[in-house]
Amino acid sequence: MTNERREKFDGQTINQVITGYLDELKSDGIAFAGIIDEGRRGFEFSGEELIDFVRDCLTAMIEAGAKPVEGGGGTRYTWIEQPQYGSTTKEIVDNVIAEWLAKGDPDHGGLWFASPQFQHIGRPEG
């Protein structure tokens, strides 16, 4: 994917947007739905371009230590890890994208990505 394209609202490149996500992971989680929105609205991607953008963002975040999570409301954790997506970067990215393509766009309350070194993440009970 070329990194020359600029986001239409603030002119950031794809690499700058990804760097921003990596910085944000130090204090908060990143909504999967927000990544899709950024690609679709900010860069006006669709089809394979949108999938490639999402893949690049997820890969960078997971390689930086982020885990797929959902909100930990009602538990002692901020986030609850979602291990069903796999354990390697490729597995997680492929499974998250496959689920998105099969089920449609997620809402902002669903899947997020957070870094255990900065966020309070628990494992699912059971």
What are the distances in angstroms from CA 117 to CA 20, 57, 67? 17, 19, 11
Residue 1 has pLDDT above 60, yes or no: no
* pLDDT computed for residue 107 by the predictor: 86
Whether this model's pTM surpasses 0.85 = yes
- Position 92 scores a pLDDT of 98
What letter would DSSP give residue 113? Answer: E
Report how far residue 120's alpha carbon sits from residue 80's, in angstroms, rounded to the nearest whole number: 9
CA distances from 108 to 21, 30, 56, 57 (A): 16, 10, 20, 17
What are the tens digits of pLDDT across the range 43-88?
Answer: 999 999 999 999 999 999 999 999 999 999 888 999 999 999 999 9
Beta bridge partners of 71: 79
